Amino acid sequence: MKGFDSKFKDFPDYILKITYQIWENKDVEAIREYYGDTPKISLPTPTRAPSGIIYGAEPVVQSTYAALKMFPDRQLLGEDVIWIGNDEEGYFSSHRILSTATHLNDGIYGPATGKKIVYRGVADCACKDNLVYDEWLVRDQGAIVRQLGIDPKKFAGDQIHSEGGIENAQEPLNENTLCDTIYTPPSLPEKNIARDYANILIEIFNTKNENVFEREYDRAIQQFQPGGLIKYGRGEIFDFWCKIFSAFPNAKLNIEHLSFVKDQNQPPKAAIRWTLIGKHDGIGYFGSPTGANIYMLGINHVEFGQRGIKNEWVLFDETMIWKQILMQTG
């Protein structure tokens, strides 16, 4: 790979090794080496998350130290890296991580509980010349807080209070959030499995038709949902997507990024990053309608089998949806 250190045998190896170096070797200062506060990149690296945007290495360093203080034994088990790219355009990864950790010290989740937790996150990174120059990060905060005995809605409310109330609380990522970036989406073949999966999701959103699941999903589908839940079979998967989309019946579903892997040594896989933008004006996943304006950032991974989608991972941060609702409704 042009511009990358020779110790990395390929792009997935780069992503997995720098993650291990930073988190499990606790070489947190290495973030400064890999994030774009450097003459090679014209802008500090933006890291977008449902909670907002930060720029450059320093806030990433500080948030990493804070997380390791709360969860000093955290392991980041790289489940998969779904990627595309080349030396000219750069490389684009969607890295799904299963984390295990013990809540040993106080922090944003309150007093230490000593509880062991397991949760997933996905980091989408745009990289070039051995650097991460743009990042999108979605962590399953709903799974974290539930395992620590906290309701996601209450966690969001407590966060607003700790930040000084509605007038002073940090606004979550939304459609009006501006971002300075040099990111350019990669070129893709017109026909690819990631686009096929995106079209399936769009059809589910538009029709909420159970026949889509009969046609596109394996009968033995497993879905890994926000909140750390696992569901099985087409019926449960249909119920999940209907509850999400019914909560925002007039929203707009946008597909922001696609990547895929087709390799004879592994099943076909795809990753999509999406946003759902609109009003919470329906009954569904987030209870009775409130009329609040919502911006949901999600990342999905899928694996295809001989009879359709066999495994599906869906990630969004439900605590930040609740924060948006509470900041607008009190």
- Same-domain status, 97 and 203: no
Q: Where are the beta strands (DSSP E) in the chain?
A: 46-49, 52-55, 75-86, 90-102, 116-128, 131-139, 217-225, 229-232, 252-263, 266-279, 293-305, 308-315
* Residue 319 domain-assigned (yes or no): yes
- Same-domain status, 131 and 247: no
- Same-domain status, 324 and 202: yes
- Same-domain status, 210 and 283: yes
> Using alpha carbons only, what angle is made at residue 179 by residues 38 and 99, rounded to the nearest 5 degrees?
75
Domain boundary among 139, 171, 206: 139
DSSP per position, 143-198: HHHHHTT--HHHHHHHHHHHTTSTTTSPPPP-TT--------PPP--SS-HHHHHH
Please give the pLDDT value at position 222.
Answer: 98
Please give the pLDDT value at position 37.
Answer: 60
- Same-domain status, 122 and 206: no
* Residue 183 domain-assigned (yes or no): no
| Whether the predicted pLDDT of 126 surpasses 60 | yes
Average pLDDT, integer, range 18-40? 85
The percent of residues in the chain predicted with pLDDT above 70, rounded, is 98
Average pLDDT, integer, range 135-147? 98
Please give the pLDDT value at position 195.
Answer: 96
Structural domains counted in the chain: 2
- Tokens coding 274: 């999406």
Spell 103-133 as b/e; 16+ CB within 10 A means b: bbeeeebeeebeeebebbbbbbbbbbebbbb
Average pLDDT, integer, range 76-84? 95
Please give the pLDDT value at position 39.
Answer: 45
* Residue 266 domain-assigned (yes or no): yes
pLDDT tens digits, residue range 203-234?
Answer: 999 999 999 999 999 999 999 999 999 999 99
| Whether the predicted pLDDT of 247 surpasses 70 | yes
- Same-domain status, 224 and 315: yes
- Same-domain status, 130 and 244: no
* Residue 178 domain-assigned (yes or no): no
* Residue 131 domain-assigned (yes or no): yes
Please give the pLDDT value at position 41.
Answer: 56
Structural domain range at position 312: 193-329
Please give the pLDDT value at position 132.
Answer: 94
Domain boundary among 100, 118, 139: 139
- Same-domain status, 22 and 123: yes
Read off the DSSP letter of residue 274.
Answer: E
Domain boundary among 139, 162, 183: 139
* Residue 148 domain-assigned (yes or no): no
Please give the pLDDT value at position 187.
Answer: 84
pLDDT tens digits, residue range 159-196?
Answer: 999 999 999 999 999 999 988 888 888 888 888 999 99
Supply the mean pLDDT for the chain. 94
**CATH code (residue 305):** 3.10.450.50
Q: Is the overall model pTM greater than 0.85, yes or no?
A: yes
Cα(284)–Cα(295) distance, integer angstroms? 16
Please give the pLDDT value at position 330.
Answer: 81
* Residue 170 domain-assigned (yes or no): no
pLDDT tens digits, residue range 35-54?
Answer: 866 545 567 899 999 999 99
- Same-domain status, 208 and 134: no
- Same-domain status, 318 and 198: yes
- Same-domain status, 25 and 129: yes
* Residue 153 domain-assigned (yes or no): no
pLDDT tens digits, residue range 91-119?
Answer: 999 999 999 999 999 999 999 999 999 99
- Same-domain status, 198 and 282: yes
